[in-house]
Amino acid sequence: MKKFFGDFLKKAACIATAFLLLSISSGYAATKMPSFSLPDAVSGAAVNSSNFNGKTLLITFFATWCPPCMQEIPTLIELHQHFSKDNFSVIAMSVDQEGASVVAKLVTKRSINYPVLMADESTAQNFGGIVGIPTSFLVNKEGNIVKKYPGYIPHSILERDINQIMN
């Protein structure tokens, strides 16, 4: 019962934070994307930010227990598939405390087609501190963060913004 109540509170807090953050402007002054070297959730291999030089990126911080994060996975899969031929990638950064095995199961179960990395606290801090999840960042091919999205963002908005910075 105690575990159920704790999980319920975590999920409720995630949803409340997402709604609160949606009311905040998603405009973001362009800043350089922080460099990172993080383990892939499935293979454990180190993935470096330099692997993505010259690509447009949508980086999203998420957790497996967060309903809005799970809701956006189909959109992220579709965007990655649609734009990857144009030098674009989605990168997911998990803030799950339960470890990579939980995240790896999600990657397999949901057939996620983009890199899913295990973020650490310093990575979240380097991105300006992640107040709630999901939180996503749109990065142009020059490596500048051009937009921050607090909370769940609809497919149409993400697609529009990606098209704008890629053209």
What is this structure's pTM? 0.82
Architecture of domain 2-166: 3-Layer(aba) Sandwich (3.40)
The burial class, CB within 10 Å (0-12 / 13-18 / 19+), for 121 is exposed
- Residues of the chain with pLDDT > 90, as a percent, come to 79
- Per-residue pLDDT for 3 more than 60? no
Q: Are 100 and 63 in contact (CB under 8 A)?
A: no
- Per-residue pLDDT for 66 more than 50? yes
pLDDT in tens, 36-65: 999 999 999 999 999 999 999 999 999 999
Q: Are strands 46-48 and 37-39 parallel, antiparallel or unpaired?
A: antiparallel
Q: Specify the pLDDT at position 129.
A: 84
Confidence of residue 72 (pLDDT cuts 50, 70, 90): very high
Average pLDDT over residues 79-88: 96
Other beta carbons within 10 Å of 138: 22
Domain chopping of the chain, boundaries: 2-166
DSSP string across 82-151: HHGGGSEEEEEEE--SS-HHHHHHHHHHTT--S-EEE--HHHHHHTT---SSSEEEEE-TTSEEEEEEES
Q: Specify the pLDDT at position 78.
A: 98
Q: Specify the pLDDT at position 23.
A: 34
- Per-residue pLDDT for 87 more than 50? yes
Confidence of residue 20 (pLDDT cuts 50, 70, 90): very low
Of residues 1 and 87, the one with the higher pLDDT is 87
- Residues of the chain with pLDDT > 70, as a percent, come to 82
